[in-house]
DNA sequence: TTCATACATTGATATTGATCAATCGGCAGT
DNA sequence: ACTGCCGATTGATCAATATCAATGTATGAA
Protein backbone atom coordinates (compact mmCIF):
# COMPACT_ATOMS: atom_id res chain seq x y z
CA UNK A 1 0.00 0.00 0.00
CA UNK A 2 1.17 3.49 -0.83
CA UNK A 3 2.05 5.85 2.01
CA UNK A 4 -0.45 8.41 0.74
CA UNK A 5 -3.24 5.84 1.12
CA UNK A 6 -2.00 5.01 4.58
CA UNK A 7 -2.23 8.66 5.59
CA UNK A 8 -5.69 9.08 4.14
CA UNK A 9 -6.97 6.11 6.10
CA UNK A 10 -5.18 7.22 9.24
CA UNK A 11 -6.98 10.55 9.05
CA UNK A 12 -10.47 9.07 8.84
CA UNK A 13 -12.56 9.73 11.94
CA UNK A 14 -12.77 6.01 12.44
CA UNK A 15 -9.01 5.51 12.69
CA UNK A 16 -7.43 8.81 13.67
CA UNK A 17 -7.49 8.19 17.43
CA UNK A 18 -6.27 4.60 17.35
CA UNK A 19 -3.15 3.51 19.16
CA UNK A 20 -0.32 3.57 16.58
CA UNK A 21 0.66 -0.08 16.89
CA UNK A 22 -2.97 -1.22 16.71
CA UNK A 23 -3.42 0.80 13.57
CA UNK A 24 -0.33 -0.72 12.01
CA UNK A 25 -1.48 -4.21 12.92
CA UNK A 26 -4.85 -3.59 11.35
CA UNK A 27 -3.26 -2.24 8.17
CA UNK A 28 -0.91 -5.19 7.93
CA UNK A 29 -3.82 -7.61 7.98
CA UNK A 30 -5.67 -5.53 5.38
CA UNK A 31 -5.04 -5.23 1.70
CA UNK A 32 -5.81 -2.64 -0.94
CA UNK A 33 -7.15 -3.73 -4.27
CA UNK A 34 -8.13 -2.10 -7.54
CA UNK A 35 -11.47 -3.10 -9.14
CA UNK A 36 -12.92 -2.25 -12.54
CA UNK A 37 -16.40 -0.74 -12.84
CA UNK A 38 -19.50 -2.93 -12.47
CA UNK A 39 -17.88 -5.64 -10.42
CA UNK A 40 -19.86 -7.42 -7.72
CA UNK A 41 -18.06 -7.10 -4.41
CA UNK A 42 -20.37 -8.74 -1.90
CA UNK A 43 -23.76 -10.43 -1.94
CA UNK A 44 -26.37 -9.96 0.76
CA UNK A 45 -26.71 -12.96 3.03
CA UNK A 46 -23.03 -13.86 2.95
CA UNK A 47 -20.95 -13.70 6.13
CA UNK A 48 -19.25 -10.35 6.75
CA UNK A 49 -15.64 -11.30 6.19
CA UNK A 50 -14.34 -7.80 5.59
CA UNK A 51 -14.85 -4.18 6.48
CA UNK A 52 -14.44 -2.12 3.30
CA UNK A 53 -12.96 1.33 2.83
CA UNK A 54 -13.51 3.16 -0.45
CA UNK A 55 -10.25 4.94 -1.30
CA UNK A 56 -11.09 5.90 -4.88
CA UNK A 57 -14.04 5.38 -7.16
CA UNK A 58 -17.65 4.70 -6.23
CA UNK A 59 -19.54 1.76 -4.73
CA UNK A 60 -23.28 1.08 -4.82
CA UNK A 61 -25.00 -0.70 -1.94
CA UNK A 62 -28.20 -2.34 -3.11
CA UNK A 63 -30.62 -5.09 -2.35
CA UNK A 64 -32.70 -7.42 -4.49
CA UNK A 65 -35.67 -9.56 -3.59
CA UNK A 66 -37.91 -11.58 -5.87
CA UNK A 67 -37.04 -9.76 -9.07
CA UNK A 68 -37.05 -6.23 -7.71
CA UNK A 69 -33.89 -4.30 -6.94
CA UNK A 70 -33.14 -1.00 -5.23
CA UNK A 71 -30.08 1.04 -4.30
CA UNK A 72 -29.84 1.89 -0.63
CA UNK A 73 -26.70 4.01 -0.66
CA UNK A 74 -23.77 5.07 -2.79
CA UNK A 75 -20.42 5.23 -1.07
CA UNK A 76 -17.79 7.69 -2.25
CA UNK A 77 -14.21 8.29 -1.01
CA UNK A 78 -13.19 8.23 1.70
CA UNK A 79 -15.66 6.20 3.75
CA UNK A 80 -16.26 2.72 5.05
CA UNK A 81 -19.20 0.47 4.41
CA UNK A 82 -20.94 -2.46 6.14
CA UNK A 83 -19.55 -1.62 9.53
CA UNK A 84 -22.63 -2.96 11.35
CA UNK A 85 -22.36 -6.45 9.85
CA UNK A 86 -18.65 -6.53 10.69
CA UNK A 87 -19.25 -5.56 14.30
CA UNK A 88 -22.12 -7.98 14.83
CA UNK A 89 -20.41 -10.74 12.84
CA UNK A 90 -23.73 -11.07 11.04
CA UNK A 91 -24.56 -11.61 7.36
CA UNK A 92 -24.52 -8.62 5.03
CA UNK A 93 -27.95 -7.07 4.55
CA UNK A 94 -26.92 -5.35 1.32
CA UNK A 95 -25.02 -6.33 -1.79
CA UNK A 96 -22.27 -4.12 -3.16
CA UNK A 97 -20.86 -3.45 -6.61
CA UNK A 98 -18.52 -0.87 -8.06
CA UNK A 99 -20.13 1.67 -10.37
CA UNK A 100 -16.78 3.15 -11.40
CA UNK A 101 -13.22 1.81 -11.32
CA UNK A 102 -12.42 1.80 -7.61
CA UNK A 103 -9.61 1.26 -5.19
CA UNK A 104 -10.80 -0.44 -2.00
CA UNK A 105 -9.22 -1.45 1.25
CA UNK A 106 -10.39 -4.75 2.73
CA UNK A 107 -9.93 -5.27 6.45
CA UNK A 108 -10.67 -8.74 7.85
CA UNK A 109 -13.63 -8.43 10.21
CA UNK A 110 -11.97 -10.46 12.94
CA UNK A 111 -9.09 -8.01 13.13
CA UNK A 112 -11.48 -5.09 13.30
CA UNK A 113 -13.39 -6.67 16.17
CA UNK A 114 -10.16 -7.46 17.97
CA UNK A 115 -8.97 -3.88 17.66
CA UNK A 116 -12.37 -2.76 18.89
CA UNK A 117 -12.05 -4.92 22.00
CA UNK A 118 -8.56 -3.70 22.91
CA UNK A 119 -8.47 -0.05 21.87
CA UNK A 120 -10.95 2.20 23.72
CA UNK A 121 -10.39 5.14 21.37
CA UNK A 122 -11.20 2.94 18.39
CA UNK A 123 -14.27 1.62 20.19
CA UNK A 124 -15.41 5.17 20.77
CA UNK A 125 -14.89 6.04 17.13
CA UNK A 126 -16.82 3.01 15.96
CA UNK A 127 -19.80 3.92 18.14
CA UNK A 128 -19.84 7.44 16.77
CA UNK A 129 -19.55 6.15 13.21
CA UNK A 130 -22.36 3.66 13.75
CA UNK A 131 -24.59 6.29 15.32
CA UNK A 132 -23.91 8.53 12.32
CA UNK A 133 -24.77 5.73 9.91
CA UNK A 134 -27.94 4.98 11.84
CA UNK A 135 -29.05 8.57 11.71
CA UNK A 136 -28.24 8.63 8.02
CA UNK A 137 -30.63 5.76 7.30
CA UNK A 138 -33.32 7.35 9.47
CA UNK A 139 -33.00 10.50 7.39
CA UNK A 140 -33.29 8.49 4.15
CA UNK A 141 -36.39 6.87 5.56
CA UNK A 142 -37.93 10.23 6.37
CA UNK A 143 -37.00 11.46 2.90
CA UNK A 144 -38.84 8.52 1.36
CA UNK A 145 -41.91 8.50 3.56
CA UNK A 146 -42.54 12.22 3.93
CA UNK A 147 -41.81 13.54 0.45
CA UNK A 148 -43.02 13.21 -3.11
CA UNK A 149 -40.67 12.19 -5.90
CA UNK A 150 -40.22 15.79 -7.09
CA UNK A 151 -39.40 17.00 -3.60
CA UNK A 152 -36.79 14.28 -3.21
CA UNK A 153 -35.14 15.25 -6.47
CA UNK A 154 -35.29 18.95 -5.64
CA UNK A 155 -33.72 18.44 -2.24
CA UNK A 156 -31.02 16.29 -3.74
CA UNK A 157 -30.09 19.21 -6.00
CA UNK A 158 -30.19 21.63 -3.06
CA UNK A 159 -27.73 19.41 -1.20
CA UNK A 160 -25.43 19.22 -4.23
CA UNK A 161 -25.59 23.00 -4.43
CA UNK A 162 -24.61 23.32 -0.77
CA UNK A 163 -21.77 20.82 -1.10
CA UNK A 164 -20.36 22.73 -4.05
CA UNK A 165 -20.26 25.92 -1.98
CA UNK A 166 -23.18 27.39 -3.92
CA UNK A 167 -21.56 27.15 -7.36
CA UNK A 168 -23.76 28.26 -10.25
CA UNK A 169 -23.44 24.89 -11.93
CA UNK A 170 -23.30 21.51 -10.21
CA UNK A 171 -22.68 18.10 -11.71
CA UNK A 172 -24.31 14.78 -10.87
CA UNK A 173 -21.64 12.56 -9.30
CA UNK A 174 -23.00 9.37 -10.93
CA UNK A 175 -25.50 8.17 -13.51
CA UNK A 176 -29.17 9.07 -13.44
CA UNK A 177 -30.12 5.42 -13.37
CA UNK A 178 -28.36 5.00 -10.02
CA UNK A 179 -29.69 8.28 -8.72
CA UNK A 180 -33.26 7.29 -9.57
CA UNK A 181 -32.92 4.07 -7.59
CA UNK A 182 -31.43 5.86 -4.58
CA UNK A 183 -34.31 8.34 -4.64
CA UNK A 184 -36.87 5.55 -4.89
CA UNK A 185 -38.21 6.09 -8.39
CA UNK A 186 -37.75 4.89 -11.98
CA UNK A 187 -35.30 6.59 -14.39
CA UNK A 188 -38.28 7.74 -16.47
CA UNK A 189 -39.80 9.54 -13.52
CA UNK A 190 -36.47 11.08 -12.56
CA UNK A 191 -36.29 12.55 -16.07
CA UNK A 192 -39.78 13.98 -15.70
CA UNK A 193 -38.96 15.36 -12.26
CA UNK A 194 -35.91 17.16 -13.65
CA UNK A 195 -38.13 18.48 -16.42
CA UNK A 196 -40.75 19.72 -13.96
CA UNK A 197 -38.13 21.44 -11.80
CA UNK A 198 -36.91 23.50 -14.75
CA UNK A 199 -39.78 25.90 -14.10
CA UNK A 200 -38.60 26.14 -10.48
CA UNK A 201 -35.10 27.48 -10.52
CA UNK A 202 -32.93 24.96 -12.37
CA UNK A 203 -31.72 24.33 -15.90
CA UNK A 204 -30.71 20.81 -16.92
CA UNK A 205 -27.98 20.00 -19.41
CA UNK A 206 -27.12 16.32 -19.32
CA UNK A 207 -25.37 15.65 -16.02
CA UNK A 208 -24.87 19.39 -15.45
CA UNK A 209 -27.44 21.44 -13.53
CA UNK A 210 -27.46 25.21 -13.45
CA UNK A 211 -29.10 26.64 -10.35
CA UNK A 212 -30.79 29.80 -11.59
CA UNK A 213 -33.09 30.55 -8.66
CA UNK A 214 -32.27 28.89 -5.39
CA UNK A 215 -35.22 30.50 -3.60
CA UNK A 216 -37.69 29.11 -6.12
CA UNK A 217 -36.09 25.68 -5.84
CA UNK A 218 -36.37 25.74 -2.04
CA UNK A 219 -39.96 26.93 -2.27
CA UNK A 220 -40.98 23.85 -4.23
CA UNK A 221 -38.92 21.22 -2.38
CA UNK A 222 -39.04 22.56 1.19
CA UNK A 223 -35.67 21.47 2.62
CA UNK A 224 -35.58 20.35 6.25
CA UNK A 225 -32.31 20.17 8.17
CA UNK A 226 -33.55 17.14 10.12
CA UNK A 227 -33.70 15.27 6.82
CA UNK A 228 -31.09 16.93 4.64
CA UNK A 229 -28.32 18.26 6.83
CA UNK A 230 -25.52 15.67 6.86
CA UNK A 231 -24.08 17.16 10.05
CA UNK A 232 -27.17 17.13 12.26
CA UNK B 1 -38.34 2.55 41.53
CA UNK B 2 -39.64 -0.91 42.23
CA UNK B 3 -37.14 -3.75 42.57
CA UNK B 4 -38.92 -5.69 39.83
CA UNK B 5 -38.32 -2.81 37.41
CA UNK B 6 -34.71 -2.66 38.47
CA UNK B 7 -34.26 -6.34 37.68
CA UNK B 8 -35.96 -6.03 34.31
CA UNK B 9 -33.66 -3.20 33.30
CA UNK B 10 -30.62 -4.99 34.66
CA UNK B 11 -31.41 -7.97 32.43
CA UNK B 12 -31.59 -5.97 29.22
CA UNK B 13 -28.75 -6.73 26.82
CA UNK B 14 -27.71 -3.13 27.08
CA UNK B 15 -27.18 -3.22 30.84
CA UNK B 16 -26.62 -6.83 31.88
CA UNK B 17 -22.82 -6.76 31.61
CA UNK B 18 -22.28 -3.40 33.31
CA UNK B 19 -20.16 -3.05 36.40
CA UNK B 20 -22.56 -3.17 39.40
CA UNK B 21 -21.64 0.23 40.84
CA UNK B 22 -21.87 1.91 37.43
CA UNK B 23 -25.29 0.44 36.94
CA UNK B 24 -26.42 1.69 40.35
CA UNK B 25 -25.06 5.14 39.63
CA UNK B 26 -26.90 5.25 36.30
CA UNK B 27 -30.14 4.14 37.95
CA UNK B 28 -29.81 6.71 40.70
CA UNK B 29 -29.56 9.50 38.15
CA UNK B 30 -32.55 8.11 36.24
CA UNK B 31 -36.20 8.23 37.12
CA UNK B 32 -39.21 6.18 36.20
CA UNK B 33 -42.42 7.91 35.30
CA UNK B 34 -45.94 6.91 34.36
CA UNK B 35 -47.56 8.60 31.33
CA UNK B 36 -51.14 8.44 30.04
CA UNK B 37 -51.86 7.53 26.42
CA UNK B 38 -51.35 10.07 23.64
CA UNK B 39 -48.82 12.21 25.45
CA UNK B 40 -46.01 13.88 23.53
CA UNK B 41 -42.67 12.84 25.00
CA UNK B 42 -40.09 14.44 22.74
CA UNK B 43 -40.10 16.58 19.63
CA UNK B 44 -37.64 16.13 16.79
CA UNK B 45 -34.97 18.81 16.69
CA UNK B 46 -34.70 19.16 20.44
CA UNK B 47 -31.46 18.26 22.23
CA UNK B 48 -31.27 14.63 23.39
CA UNK B 49 -31.48 15.11 27.13
CA UNK B 50 -32.51 11.59 27.98
CA UNK B 51 -32.20 8.01 26.91
CA UNK B 52 -35.61 6.36 27.29
CA UNK B 53 -36.49 2.83 28.31
CA UNK B 54 -40.04 1.57 27.77
CA UNK B 55 -40.94 -0.53 30.82
CA UNK B 56 -44.67 -0.87 30.13
CA UNK B 57 -47.02 0.39 27.45
CA UNK B 58 -46.22 1.46 23.93
CA UNK B 59 -44.41 4.42 22.35
CA UNK B 60 -44.62 5.65 18.76
CA UNK B 61 -41.60 7.24 17.08
CA UNK B 62 -42.70 9.49 14.24
CA UNK B 63 -41.68 12.43 12.16
CA UNK B 64 -43.56 15.31 10.60
CA UNK B 65 -42.52 17.71 7.88
CA UNK B 66 -44.61 20.34 6.15
CA UNK B 67 -47.98 18.88 7.00
CA UNK B 68 -47.15 15.24 6.39
CA UNK B 69 -46.50 12.77 9.20
CA UNK B 70 -45.28 9.20 9.34
CA UNK B 71 -44.48 6.61 12.00
CA UNK B 72 -40.97 5.24 11.83
CA UNK B 73 -41.13 2.70 14.66
CA UNK B 74 -43.22 1.52 17.56
CA UNK B 75 -41.35 0.63 20.70
CA UNK B 76 -42.74 -2.00 23.05
CA UNK B 77 -41.39 -3.27 26.41
CA UNK B 78 -38.66 -3.74 27.22
CA UNK B 79 -36.48 -1.67 24.91
CA UNK B 80 -34.71 1.65 24.68
CA UNK B 81 -35.17 4.37 22.14
CA UNK B 82 -33.15 7.25 20.69
CA UNK B 83 -29.83 5.75 21.67
CA UNK B 84 -28.02 7.26 18.68
CA UNK B 85 -28.96 10.86 19.54
CA UNK B 86 -27.91 10.27 23.16
CA UNK B 87 -24.52 8.90 22.14
CA UNK B 88 -23.80 11.62 19.61
CA UNK B 89 -25.24 14.35 21.82
CA UNK B 90 -27.18 15.43 18.73
CA UNK B 91 -30.78 16.57 18.29
CA UNK B 92 -33.52 13.96 18.10
CA UNK B 93 -34.41 13.01 14.53
CA UNK B 94 -37.80 11.62 15.57
CA UNK B 95 -40.61 12.74 17.81
CA UNK B 96 -42.13 10.36 20.34
CA UNK B 97 -45.56 9.97 21.91
CA UNK B 98 -47.24 7.30 23.97
CA UNK B 99 -49.99 5.37 22.22
CA UNK B 100 -51.02 3.57 25.40
CA UNK B 101 -50.55 4.35 29.09
CA UNK B 102 -46.84 3.72 29.60
CA UNK B 103 -44.20 3.50 32.25
CA UNK B 104 -40.88 4.91 31.07
CA UNK B 105 -37.43 5.22 32.51
CA UNK B 106 -35.55 8.41 31.69
CA UNK B 107 -31.77 8.34 31.91
CA UNK B 108 -29.92 11.65 31.58
CA UNK B 109 -27.80 11.48 28.41
CA UNK B 110 -24.71 12.83 30.13
CA UNK B 111 -24.73 9.97 32.60
CA UNK B 112 -25.14 7.43 29.81
CA UNK B 113 -22.17 8.86 27.93
CA UNK B 114 -20.11 8.92 31.08
CA UNK B 115 -20.88 5.27 31.78
CA UNK B 116 -20.02 4.51 28.18
CA UNK B 117 -16.61 6.13 28.56
CA UNK B 118 -15.70 4.28 31.75
CA UNK B 119 -17.27 0.85 31.42
CA UNK B 120 -15.93 -1.26 28.53
CA UNK B 121 -18.65 -3.88 28.84
CA UNK B 122 -21.30 -1.19 28.60
CA UNK B 123 -19.50 0.30 25.59
CA UNK B 124 -19.51 -3.10 23.93
CA UNK B 125 -23.23 -3.50 24.62
CA UNK B 126 -24.02 -0.09 23.20
CA UNK B 127 -22.19 -0.84 19.97
CA UNK B 128 -24.06 -4.08 19.55
CA UNK B 129 -27.35 -2.38 20.30
CA UNK B 130 -26.62 0.41 17.82
CA UNK B 131 -25.59 -2.06 15.13
CA UNK B 132 -28.85 -3.94 15.73
CA UNK B 133 -30.85 -0.72 15.45
CA UNK B 134 -29.02 0.21 12.27
CA UNK B 135 -29.75 -3.12 10.69
CA UNK B 136 -33.36 -2.78 11.78
CA UNK B 137 -33.78 0.47 9.88
CA UNK B 138 -32.04 -0.98 6.83
CA UNK B 139 -34.54 -3.84 6.88
CA UNK B 140 -37.44 -1.38 7.12
CA UNK B 141 -36.00 0.47 4.18
CA UNK B 142 -35.79 -2.70 2.12
CA UNK B 143 -39.33 -3.58 3.15
CA UNK B 144 -40.54 -0.21 1.86
CA UNK B 145 -38.53 -0.04 -1.35
CA UNK B 146 -38.75 -3.64 -2.51
CA UNK B 147 -42.34 -4.56 -1.68
CA UNK B 148 -45.87 -3.57 -2.55
CA UNK B 149 -48.34 -2.53 0.12
CA UNK B 150 -50.03 -5.94 0.15
CA UNK B 151 -46.72 -7.75 0.52
CA UNK B 152 -45.76 -5.52 3.45
CA UNK B 153 -49.04 -6.27 5.21
CA UNK B 154 -48.78 -9.98 4.48
CA UNK B 155 -45.25 -10.19 5.82
CA UNK B 156 -46.25 -8.27 8.91
CA UNK B 157 -48.87 -10.95 9.60
CA UNK B 158 -46.34 -13.71 8.94
CA UNK B 159 -44.01 -12.17 11.52
CA UNK B 160 -46.84 -11.90 14.06
CA UNK B 161 -47.62 -15.55 13.40
CA UNK B 162 -44.00 -16.52 14.03
CA UNK B 163 -43.78 -14.45 17.21
CA UNK B 164 -46.91 -16.12 18.57
CA UNK B 165 -45.34 -19.53 18.06
CA UNK B 166 -47.66 -20.28 15.14
CA UNK B 167 -50.90 -19.80 17.02
CA UNK B 168 -54.05 -20.16 14.93
CA UNK B 169 -55.19 -16.68 15.85
CA UNK B 170 -52.96 -13.63 16.32
CA UNK B 171 -53.90 -10.17 17.53
CA UNK B 172 -52.66 -6.80 16.32
CA UNK B 173 -50.61 -5.24 19.12
CA UNK B 174 -51.83 -1.68 18.36
CA UNK B 175 -54.35 0.22 16.27
CA UNK B 176 -54.62 -0.13 12.50
CA UNK B 177 -54.07 3.59 12.07
CA UNK B 178 -50.60 3.26 13.61
CA UNK B 179 -49.89 0.07 11.74
CA UNK B 180 -50.78 1.68 8.42
CA UNK B 181 -48.34 4.51 9.05
CA UNK B 182 -45.55 2.12 10.03
CA UNK B 183 -46.14 0.13 6.86
CA UNK B 184 -46.11 3.28 4.72
CA UNK B 185 -49.73 3.41 3.60
CA UNK B 186 -53.05 5.03 4.48
CA UNK B 187 -55.53 3.37 6.87
CA UNK B 188 -57.94 2.95 3.94
CA UNK B 189 -55.39 0.99 1.95
CA UNK B 190 -54.48 -1.14 4.96
CA UNK B 191 -58.15 -2.11 5.21
CA UNK B 192 -58.22 -3.03 1.55
CA UNK B 193 -54.98 -4.99 1.88
CA UNK B 194 -56.45 -7.02 4.75
CA UNK B 195 -59.50 -7.60 2.59
CA UNK B 196 -57.42 -8.76 -0.36
CA UNK B 197 -55.39 -11.12 1.82
CA UNK B 198 -58.54 -12.91 2.96
CA UNK B 199 -58.41 -14.92 -0.25
CA UNK B 200 -54.81 -15.84 0.58
CA UNK B 201 -54.86 -17.68 3.87
CA UNK B 202 -56.17 -15.29 6.52
CA UNK B 203 -59.50 -14.34 8.06
CA UNK B 204 -59.91 -10.91 9.65
CA UNK B 205 -62.10 -10.18 12.64
CA UNK B 206 -61.40 -6.72 14.01
CA UNK B 207 -57.95 -6.78 15.55
CA UNK B 208 -57.90 -10.58 15.48
CA UNK B 209 -56.47 -12.49 12.51
CA UNK B 210 -56.97 -16.18 11.95
CA UNK B 211 -54.21 -17.78 9.89
CA UNK B 212 -56.02 -20.43 7.88
CA UNK B 213 -53.37 -21.23 5.28
CA UNK B 214 -49.86 -20.18 6.07
CA UNK B 215 -48.50 -21.57 2.79
CA UNK B 216 -50.93 -19.50 0.73
CA UNK B 217 -50.03 -16.42 2.76
CA UNK B 218 -46.32 -16.96 2.17
CA UNK B 219 -46.92 -17.57 -1.52
CA UNK B 220 -48.45 -14.14 -1.93
CA UNK B 221 -46.11 -12.12 0.31
CA UNK B 222 -42.80 -13.91 -0.28
CA UNK B 223 -41.03 -13.55 3.08
CA UNK B 224 -37.27 -12.96 3.04
CA UNK B 225 -35.15 -13.52 6.15
CA UNK B 226 -32.84 -10.65 5.19
CA UNK B 227 -35.85 -8.33 5.57
CA UNK B 228 -38.09 -10.05 8.08
CA UNK B 229 -35.96 -12.06 10.46
CA UNK B 230 -35.39 -9.95 13.58
CA UNK B 231 -32.37 -12.06 14.54
CA UNK B 232 -30.37 -11.87 11.32
C1' DT C 1 -78.69 3.88 28.77
C1' DT C 2 -77.45 7.65 25.45
C1' DC C 3 -74.44 10.46 23.31
C1' DA C 4 -70.15 11.87 21.46
C1' DT C 5 -66.08 10.66 19.52
C1' DA C 6 -62.65 8.33 17.32
C1' DC C 7 -61.59 4.58 14.51
C1' DA C 8 -62.61 1.35 10.77
C1' DT C 9 -64.66 0.19 6.48
C1' DT C 10 -66.36 0.83 1.80
C1' DG C 11 -67.02 2.97 -2.59
C1' DA C 12 -65.97 6.58 -6.00
C1' DT C 13 -62.56 9.31 -7.84
C1' DA C 14 -58.06 11.64 -8.40
C1' DT C 15 -53.22 11.54 -8.36
C1' DT C 16 -48.93 9.65 -8.44
C1' DG C 17 -45.79 6.84 -10.14
C1' DA C 18 -44.71 2.52 -12.98
C1' DT C 19 -44.60 0.24 -17.23
C1' DC C 20 -44.32 -0.13 -22.13
C1' DA C 21 -42.72 1.51 -26.44
C1' DA C 22 -40.31 4.37 -29.49
C1' DT C 23 -36.68 7.48 -30.36
C1' DC C 24 -32.64 9.99 -29.60
C1' DG C 25 -27.80 10.65 -28.52
C1' DG C 26 -23.27 9.74 -26.90
C1' DC C 27 -19.37 6.66 -26.52
C1' DA C 28 -16.39 2.55 -27.35
C1' DG C 29 -14.62 -0.60 -30.33
C1' DT C 30 -13.54 -1.84 -34.93
C1' DA D 1 -15.85 7.23 -39.96
C1' DC D 2 -19.17 3.48 -39.09
C1' DT D 3 -21.61 0.50 -36.07
C1' DG D 4 -23.60 -1.30 -32.03
C1' DC D 5 -24.93 -0.61 -27.53
C1' DC D 6 -26.36 1.53 -23.48
C1' DG D 7 -28.42 5.25 -21.13
C1' DA D 8 -31.58 9.11 -21.30
C1' DT D 9 -35.73 11.14 -22.87
C1' DT D 10 -40.54 11.44 -24.25
C1' DG D 11 -45.24 10.10 -24.86
C1' DA D 12 -49.09 6.92 -24.05
C1' DT D 13 -51.10 3.95 -21.05
C1' DC D 14 -51.68 1.25 -16.91
C1' DA D 15 -51.46 0.06 -12.03
C1' DA D 16 -50.97 1.31 -7.38
C1' DT D 17 -51.97 4.25 -3.91
C1' DA D 18 -54.03 8.48 -1.97
C1' DT D 19 -57.89 11.28 -1.25
C1' DC D 20 -62.60 12.34 -0.50
C1' DA D 21 -67.01 11.13 1.14
C1' DA D 22 -70.32 8.44 3.42
C1' DT D 23 -71.43 5.06 6.59
C1' DG D 24 -70.81 1.79 10.12
C1' DT D 25 -69.02 0.33 14.70
C1' DA D 26 -66.87 0.16 19.06
C1' DT D 27 -65.65 2.73 23.21
C1' DG D 28 -65.87 5.69 27.06
C1' DA D 29 -68.10 9.50 29.61
C1' DA D 30 -72.11 11.49 31.53
Residue A91 Cβ under 7 A from any strand D atom:
no
Amino acid B66 CA to nucleotide D19 C1' distance, rounded Å: 18
Residues listed for chain B: 232
pLDDT of A232 > 80? The answer is no
Predicted confidence at residue B122, as pLDDT, reads 92
Residue A5: which pLDDT band, with cuts at 50, 70 and 90?
confident
| Overall fold of domain B147-228 | Arc Repressor Mutant, subunit A (1.10.10)
Question: Which residue would you say has higher pLDDT here, A207 or A4?
Answer: A207
Nucleotide nearest to B68 (CA to C1'): D18
pLDDT tens digit sequence for B117-170: 899 999 999 999 999 999 999 999 999 999 999 999 999 999 999 999 999 999
Predicted confidence at residue B218, as pLDDT, reads 95
Using a CB-CB cut-off of 8 Å, the residues of chain A touching B124 are 117, 123
Residue A227 to residue B87, Cβ atoms within 8 A: no
Amino acid A195 CA to nucleotide D13 C1' distance, rounded Å: 20
Predicted confidence at residue B166, as pLDDT, reads 95
Q: Which class does domain B3-138 fall in?
A: mainly beta
Mean pLDDT taken over chain A: 93
Residues 70-109 of A with CB under 8 A from B: 70, 72, 83-85, 87-88, 90-91, 93-94
Residue A128 to residue B87, Cβ atoms within 8 A: yes
Domain segments of chain B: what residues?
A: 3-138, 147-228
Residue A116 to residue B126, Cβ atoms within 8 A: no
pLDDT tens digit sequence for B7-47: 888 999 999 999 999 999 999 999 999 999 999 999 999 99
Using a CB-CB cut-off of 8 Å, the residues of chain A touching B145 are 63, 70, 72, 144, 184
Which CATH superfamily is A3-144 part of?
Answer: Jelly Rolls (2.60.120.10)
Classify burial at A28, counting beta carbons within 10 Å of its beta carbon; exposed 0-12, middle 13-18, buried 19 or more.
exposed
pLDDT tens digit sequence for B75-109: 999 899 999 999 999 999 999 999 999 999 999 99
As a whole number, mean pLDDT of residues B183-193 equals 96
Predicted confidence at residue A3, as pLDDT, reads 81
Whether A67 and chain B come into contact, CB under 8 Å, resolves to no
Residue A8: which pLDDT band, with cuts at 50, 70 and 90?
confident
Residue A135, number of CB atoms within 10 A of its CB: 22
Question: Which CATH number fits the domain A148-228, given the four candidates 1.10.3720.10, 3.10.129.10, 1.10.760.10, 1.10.10.10?
Answer: 1.10.10.10
Task: Quote the ipTM score.
Answer: 0.91
Taking a C-beta distance cutoff of 8 angstroms, is the pair B218, B158 a contact? yes
Amino acid sequence: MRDSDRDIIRNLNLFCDMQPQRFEALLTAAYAQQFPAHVDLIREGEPADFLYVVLEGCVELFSASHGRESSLAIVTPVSTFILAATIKDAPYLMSARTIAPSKLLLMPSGNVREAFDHDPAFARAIVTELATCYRGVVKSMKNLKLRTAIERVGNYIVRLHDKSGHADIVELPFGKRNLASILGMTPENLSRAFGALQSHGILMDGARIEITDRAALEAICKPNPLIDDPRS
